[in-house]
Amino acid sequence: MEVTRRTILTGIGGAVVVGTLGGTIGVAQAAEPQLGVVVKIGGIPWFNAMEVGIKKAAPEFKTNAWMVGPTQADAAQQVRAIEDLIARKVAVIGIVPNDSAALDPVLGRARAAGIKVLAHEGPSQKEADWDFELTTIEGYGQAHMDLIAKEMGGEGKYIVYVGSLTVPLHNAWADAAIAYQKQKYPKMQMLGDRFGVAESLDESIKTTQDQLRANPDLKGILTFGSQGPIGAARVLDDREKAKSIALVGGFSPGQGVKYVKSGTIRGGFIWNPMTAGEIFVQLASILAAGKEPTDNMELTGVGKVRVYPDKKLIQAQKLESLDKQNIDRLVALGL
């Protein structure tokens, strides 16, 4: 189903749709500030968990908040969703971008209309008032490279998946991991270029099948994007390659727990998307009140954070290890 004005306006946020004498449709403004968070794609576990966090935090921070999940990881659908939020005259638009450059024009219009823009996983989003991150780019990329290098014995050929070739943060993580590999693990070799498939289960499965056929000596798969490890794990299990190929990456714990316990997924790192949803609401309540984030302020679930006004960056550091010792705890949290 295409994301349209009708689908976005129906049944969300508690807003009241009213008619005017001229026949146009307007939205009665709620007393609480309105926040609409546009994520990369709806219906997958990662963003389902984020939505839980948004709904949980909305009453606490007295904010009328909801999530919009496009049916595909497509910048054009995100543009249409943002246009609808501009028409609603929300106080704050949250965005987890598929393609930062493609979204800058419409986000610029939002800011020109007096709407605050809050990005997450969008460090290169120029038309944003602030971007918040729950890990550093270098730290996240290097942690994954250290893990896959350990599992590969520090040598051999590997491939890299990202959500798409335009998702800014996934590609920044990949850049950091690859640069680190060349410096620290010279006996490892990345095959080809990265594959932009890791937000699609089907595309991750197909690409893994293709790469196993093309590279019988493959020793590792490093994936940034929550569906990449799941799709690749299915293929490694089917082909009985889980012991010979090290699979590492971040994913939703409930979706990948069985593969961690079987050893098909060797591990990875995530932050809590539910916490990210709560932080969206907390920061939106601050921005809607005309205030600004301050250095060493406390944010829900992560404690004190660093604030860099020159970079428009709110930086936390809160990673969870996706290993056999920690996975059940994360699943119990609803992730």
Domains and CATH numbers, the chain: 5-135+272-319 (3.40.50.2300), 137-269 (3.40.50.2300)
Q: Can you spell out the DSSP letters for 258-305?
A: HHHHHTSS-B-EE--HHHHHHHHHHHHHHHHTT----TT-EETTTEE-
DSSP 30: P
What pLDDT sits at residue 226? 94
The CA-to-CA distance between both ends of the chain, in Å, stands at: 26
What pLDDT sits at residue 333? 86
Task: Inform me whether the pLDDT recorded for 19 exceeds 90.
Answer: no
Sequence length of the chain is: 335
Task: Inform me whether the pLDDT recorded for 136 exceeds 50.
Answer: yes
Task: Inform me whether the pLDDT recorded for 57 exceeds 50.
Answer: yes
Nearest to 268 by CA among 130, 154, 135, 102: 135
pLDDT grade for 200, boundaries at 50, 70 and 90 = very high
Q: Per-residue pLDDT averaged across 171-185, rounded? A: 98
Regarding pTM above 0.95, the answer is: no
Q: Per-residue pLDDT averaged across 269-276, rounded? A: 95
Task: Inform me whether the pLDDT recorded for 312 exceeds 80.
Answer: yes
Contact 247, 236 (CB under 8 A): yes
pLDDT grade for 31, boundaries at 50, 70 and 90 = confident
